[in-house]
Each structure stands twice: as structure tokens, then as C-alpha cells.
């Protein structure tokens, strides 16, 4: 495979990571501010939000070869 073709994939990976970080941050914010409505599911949705944040951060800092 060509080394020149990977620049678009790298940019898409970084952009998708940024989108995941934004969605994860919004989900975390809305989860933690609406604990009354979520009740016992606050921890579950908080955990899922943190997973989105971690995945987005991983996509941004990962190096593609």
C-alpha cells in the first residue's frame, strides 16, 4: 500500500476522536446534571459517557503508521 494515501485516514480518525470527545462530554454533563430523573441508572449512563470520552481521547493520541 502507498504511504501517501494514509493522510486522509489519519485526519478522519482525529476528527472522529474529536467528535467522540464532544459527545462524551455532553453526555457526561447531562447525565450528572439530571441525576433526579435518571435515578438508579445514573452510574450506568455516567460509565458509558466516560467510555465515550476515553475512546475519543485514545483516537486523538493514537499514532497511525
Asked if residue 1 belongs to a domain, the reply is no
What's the pLDDT score for residue 6?
72
Give per-residue pLDDT as tens, 44-57: 999 999 999 999 99
Asked if residue 7 belongs to a domain, the reply is no
Q: Considering its fold, how many domains does the chain have in total?
A: 1
Q: What is the maximum alpha-carbon separation in the chain?
A: 54
Asked if residue 29 belongs to a domain, the reply is yes
Q: Looking at the chain, list the stretches that DSSP marks H as alpha helix, in order from N- to C-terminal side.
A: 6-33, 35-38, 42-61
Range of the domain at 20: 16-61
Number of C-alpha atoms within 13 angstroms, CB side, residue 8? 3
Asked if residue 51 belongs to a domain, the reply is yes
Mean pLDDT across the chain, nearest whole number?
88
Is the torsion defined by CA of 34, 37, 42, 47 positive or negative? negative
Asked if residue 8 belongs to a domain, the reply is no
Amino acid at each position: 500500500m502507498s504511504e501517501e494515501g494514509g493522510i486522509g485516514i489519519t485526519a478522519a480518525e482525529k476528527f472522529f476522536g474529536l467528535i467522540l470527545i464532544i459527545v462524551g462530554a455532553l453526555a457526561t454533563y447531562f447525565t450528572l446534571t439530571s441525576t433526579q430523573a435518571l435515578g438508579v441508572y445514573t452510574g450506568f449512563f455516567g460509565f458509558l459517557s466516560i467510555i465515550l470520552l476515553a475512546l475519543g481521547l485514545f483516537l486523538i493520541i493514537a499514532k497511525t503508521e
